[in-house]
Structure formats: structure tokens, C-alpha cells
Amino acid sequence: MRVSVVLCTYTMDMYPHFEDAADSVLEQTHDDVELVVVVDGDEEVYERVREAYGEREDTIVHCNEGNRGLSYSRNRGIERSTGDVVAFLDDDAIAEPNWVAELVAGYERRDALAVGGTMTPIWVAGEPDFLPEEFYWLVGVTHRGYPTAEQEVRNTFGSNISFRRHVLETLGGFDNDLGRKGDEQGQGEETELAVRLYREYGERVWYVPDARVGHKVFDYRTDPKWLLNRAFQQGYSKRAMADVGSSSGAESDFLKRLMFEFAPARARELVRTPSLARVEQFVMVFVFTFVVGMGYLYGVFDY
């Protein structure tokens, strides 16, 4: 099975991290991997990428005319790719060597239409003591409460998700109006695409925990103000996604587990072995939950 990995980038500030991501794709254990690089309109980045990778037979390099956004770039990558399966990786991520092999094994075991895996944290500036694992999804990392065994899920993170080519062609790829564009932190494009997958085929994304990608969590993403703003925006986004039918029982099920399983477990741990970090995390479980809820309510009145 030939797998194309679409890797999008757009700024020289991220170039060293892009190289880490690109090299992790080219060093995969699976023997038929194609790297498709899409540069979102930056000619300097394009020239650097073409110089470093453009002569490789296993790599395709494309540059957009202008900054068009992540979803647009991913769609251009789909068009340029030749694989039976198209996977997606971000330029702040590093795929483990067997990542593609595990995705392929998931397709073969399940005869799946879409397969995704786990995002693990790479704490560039150190792990923040106050951030509870239940809210790792705020920094693009698989959180406590996510499934630990292979099963269907609504979607995985956009930096560790893949689809059979014919599925992407039928669905028309990502919605260009969703997703990140420049410094605008849009989101929800992989969720919306996964919802269309379910509507068209009656299947969800097959989750393979052993298909692992590390996500670099930079220092600004561990700042409490940034995280609170992110929580608010996530709540707002979930309200927006509800309008396109991408809301499911996943959020409500997670909220129930958060309040009736994880929070009580944290309280018991705090009583048994108290520490400042445990106190902070226990408090932040409720703070983040409240802020996400406020974002959702704001979206109710805004739409």
C-alpha cells in the first residue's frame, strides 16, 4: 500500500521544525511512502524546501500562490499525491518510525476508510504542572479519557489522520473555509470532514493507538492565558461545529466522565498524597470546563 503524507508549512520561523517533520516521514519503516510538501505562499520557504528535498524521487514539493490556509494547502497536497492512502502531518510534529506502518496495518485489519492515531506531547519548554491530562487536547495532544484500544472514533487530530484516496475524492477534501490561515487559529476542519465521511459511508475513523506522532508544545502554548483563550475558542468552535452536524455524544460522554470519574479520582489522590501540582490540576479541571462552557454559550448567542 502506497501512502502519501501531506506536510504543509508557511513560514521560515518554523523551518527547522518542518525539517524534523519531513525527515521523520522519510525515515518511516514502511517501504512505500511519498512525502508531499505544500508551502503556503512563502517563496523563501519554497526555495529552501525545494533545495533540500526537491530532487528526491519520493518527495513532491508545491507552492501556493499566496497564503491560502491549511485546509486549502492540504487539498492541494491531496491533488498532487499519488498514494492509495493520504495521511496528514503538521510541521510542528514528529512521526515515530513505525507510524505509517501502524496506519497501514489498521487499514488492513479493519478494511477501514480512514485511520488515525495518537498524539503524544513533546514539551519544548517543559511540562506545565497546572495542566491536567484531561485537557491535553488544548495543546493538540491525546488526552486522558480518550480510548486506549483500537475502535471507531469521530475523528483524531489533524496531524495524525489519514483517508483512502477515493474517499477524499468523493468527499471533496477539506472545507477551505475551516482551519488555520496564517496567524488566524481556525479549527475543526478534520472534524467536519470526518462527519461527512460518516454521512456518506456510515463509517467513522478507525483509531490505532500505536500509530504515534509527537507534537511539539512550544512555550507560548503552556502560558495560562493562552490556554484559557484556547479553551474559550474551543467551546466556541464546538458550537459552530454543532451547526454543521459534527457534534456528537463524544463531548457529553467526556464531560460525564470528567465530572463523575476523573474529578473524584483526582480528589482522592489529593487527599492521599497532597501536593501543589495536584491542587492546581484539580482546580484547573473545573476552570477549563467552565471556560469551554462559556465559549460554547457565547457561540449560542453569536450564531
Is pLDDT above 90 for 233? no
- CB-facing half-sphere around the CA of 230: CA atoms within 13 A: 16
Mean pLDDT within 187-216: 93
Distance CA 181, CA 194 (A): 20
Distance CA 121, CA 142 (A): 8
pLDDT-derived band at 6, boundaries 50, 70, 90: very high
Q: pLDDT tens, 114-147? A: 999 999 999 998 999 999 999 999 999 999 989 9
CATH of the domain at 197: 3.90.550.10
The predicted pLDDT at position 46 comes to: 96
Mean pLDDT within 212-230: 95
Is pLDDT above 70 for 257? yes
The predicted pLDDT at position 48 comes to: 96
Distance CA 248, CA 137 (A): 17
- Tally of CB atoms within 10 A around 143: 16
In the listed set 156, 189, 222, which residue is the last one of a domain according to the structure?
222
208 grid coordinates: 490505532
pLDDT-derived band at 185, boundaries 50, 70, 90: low
Q: pLDDT tens, 28-44? A: 999 999 999 999 989 99
The predicted pLDDT at position 248 comes to: 52
User: Residues 113, 167: one domain?
Assistant: yes
Helix ranges (DSSP H) in the chain: 15-26, 43-53, 70-80, 99-110, 165-171, 189-201, 224-243, 249-257, 263-272, 276-302
In the listed set 201, 222, 243, which residue is the last one of a domain according to the structure?
222
Domain, as residue range, for 129: 3-222
Q: pLDDT tens, 271-288? A: 999 999 999 999 999 999
pLDDT-derived band at 10, boundaries 50, 70, 90: very high
User: Residues 154, 297: one domain?
Assistant: no
The predicted pLDDT at position 138 comes to: 93
162 forms beta bridges with 87, 115
User: Residues 122, 166: one domain?
Assistant: yes
User: Residues 215, 240: one domain?
Assistant: no
**pTM for this prediction:** 0.90
User: Residues 174, 69: one domain?
Assistant: yes
The predicted pLDDT at position 32 comes to: 96
Q: What is the DSSP string of 9-76?
A: E--GGGHHHHHHHHHHHHT-SSS-EEEEEEE-S-HHHHHHHHHHHTT-TTEEEEE-SS---HHHHHHH
The predicted pLDDT at position 181 comes to: 60
User: Residues 117, 179: one domain?
Assistant: yes
Is pLDDT above 60 for 184? no
The predicted pLDDT at position 244 comes to: 54
In the listed set 203, 222, 241, which residue is the last one of a domain according to the structure?
222
User: Residues 41, 188: one domain?
Assistant: yes
Is pLDDT above 80 for 182? no
pLDDT-derived band at 289, boundaries 50, 70, 90: very high
Distance CA 120, CA 143 (A): 9
Cα angle 214-218-222, degrees, rounded to a multiple of 5: 110
The predicted pLDDT at position 179 comes to: 58
Pick the range with the lowest mean pLDDT from 84-88, 201-205, 228-232, 299-303: 299-303
User: Residues 259, 211: one domain?
Assistant: no
